[in-house]
Amino acid sequence: MASSADSPFLKKPLLRKQLKKQPLWGKRLRRHRHPNKQRQTQRQGRGQGPRSPVKSHQPTRLRALIVWGLLMLGIVALGVRLAHLQLVQGPTLTQIARQQQFTPDVPRPARRPIVDREGNVLAVDRIIYTLYAHPQLFQKAPAEVAEGLSPLLEIPQDELLNRFSQQKSGIQLSLDLSQEAAERVRNLRLDGLELLPQQQRFYPQQSLFAPIVGFVNVEGVPQAGLESAFEKELLMEAAAAAAVPAAPLAAGSLNPTVPPELAAPLKLQLTLDSRLQRVAQQELQATVDRHGAKRGTVMVMDAQTGALLALATSPTYDPNRYYESDITTFRNWAVSDLYEPGSTFKPINIAIALEVGAITPDDGIYDEGRLQFGEWTIQNSDFSHVGGRGPLSITDVLKYSSNVGMVHIMDRVRSATYFDWLQRLGLGRSTGVDLPSEVVGQLKDRDQFVNSDVESATASFGQGFALTPMQLLQLQAILANGGKLVTPHVVQGLVDDKGSLRWQPDRPTPQPVFSPETTQAVLEMMEAVVSDGTGKPAQLPGYRVGGKTGTAQKVTEAGVYGNGRITSFVSILPIEAPRYVVLAVIDEPFGDNAYGSTVAAPLVKSVMESLVVIQRIPPAQAAAQ
């Protein structure tokens, strides 16, 4: 038997081959082998010697030291950075953060209501709601939510469902829900709906008073009209409220000792009458539409006080939806735009000539129909039909609206005197009306007017200078009130709930301009214009009415007279006790038959028919009895 040393099964190479042939046994063997011994065996198999246990731990400690050092450096860097942010940049960053996080929550100051002379509300503060939907929070099916909201919002269910499907949250369904509508939405008790309140200025009369009252925008800033002109008086802040007296005082005076609570119920009352204003606006718009005019205005003034009862303009806009309107409609053109008045200024010129003694009511004038001033030709509007009218009385000059007759009348007044009178009447100055954006009239330079015959000639029939419709109304009121220049106005003052006047704007004292004898003579001539002249379309059965037509050529941008016309008519009634002045101006009516007598006079008649009813003006026969 062979010795164990010579046994082939114990030889090393043979043992390795046998181990490779038995993988399961080898795996079991490696599983129980110590890890260090395994690494040592593997190194020995690759021809490497054994490694000491101390040396095997050195790389691990080195890596730990490196990681620890990096962590310490990071902590130190973070600490330095934090210290820099807090100590060096802290104040600056704090300020920036506050600015980013701060949302202005300044409540919009309450504004006083605006009412007409009868107490009807024209402007008032109210709370409205914006409704948002958040479909992701709906507890009910979107179809059920749409079914409940549809009748309240007046939006079809299909449209609501379409909106719900567009996004999961923040869907705006309505911008201006009233308090009543918001309460009905709450009563539905639907999850996923949000109502956000906000204060809004509301104008229940919509477009009726828009050019006068103006509007307040969504930021609470007044943009036009009385809202802007009387912002201080309308704001109900403590400082403004304390400046309102508790008892009636003189015009323009204030009592700073009144507690704010007494000021809360005050309202800004206007002199305008909603009933008359509505008639004037409707008739004006119908006239503008009928004649295809560019724009128009009709106004009614109490000539004794200057208070306006109606001031209608076209075009107008809805102040509740001002953002949908043309910005040009925000301007009240009756006070902000100039025009040449034409023949409606002739009664004023006759009053000047009578006052200075250049003519008497019984004088006569010869009308040859056409006059020549160098290169300028002046003729009557009906010259091509009737030619010259020959001898005319002063009344006839007005009755037939003779331009040539007016030239002869004012030729008897020295040009310098005539110019002084035009200035005395206020041409080139403000009327003092309490509406914003008023422009002053334009009058030629004194030297140019005095040294040129044609300037006084054209001014005699109302051309060559410009004024606003409001200023012409003011001048016509002089004839109606016995010769005093009054200040036109639409604001009566601040009143309490009982209608007692607590504050009133300070207005200048009416100044005498013409004598009562002069104005009475002119009124009788104007009555003849309506009874038997160009103003016949304005006749009012049973009433004595005076009036004057006007049809003026418009100046183009090139500075020459073009084909455009501006027609007007002014009336004064009742002649036996003059009180009211009505003026209508229609800009660029379309058609060859567009004159003051055919366009403006019928409009004034319609307004007068309502005026006599509202103001209870008795007919002339009843007044005589």
Type of residue at 189: R
Query: Positive or negative CA dihedral for 450, 453, 459, 460?
Result: positive
Cα separation, 394 vs 354, whole angstroms: 10
Measure Cα distances from 422 to 68, 310, 411, 509, 517 in Å. 99, 27, 15, 20, 20
Cα separation, 215 vs 222, whole angstroms: 6
343 counts as catalytic: yes
Cα separation, 496 vs 46, whole angstroms: 112
| Per annotation, catalytic residue among 174, 207, 274, 343 | 343
* Torsion from C-alpha of 483, 489, 494, 495, nearest 10 degrees: 60
DSSP 501-570: EEE----PPPEE-S-HHHHHHHHHHHHHHHHHSTTGGG--TTS--EEEEEEEEEE-TTSSEEEEEEEEEE
E strand or H helix that includes residue 213: helix 210-213
Place of tokens 């999850």: 191
Q: With H, G, I as helix, E, B as strand and everything else as coil, classify residue 408.
A: helix
Cβ contact 278:610 at 8 Å:
no
Cα separation, 237 vs 244, whole angstroms: 11
Cα separation, 585 vs 570, whole angstroms: 9
Q: Catalytic amino acids?
A: 343
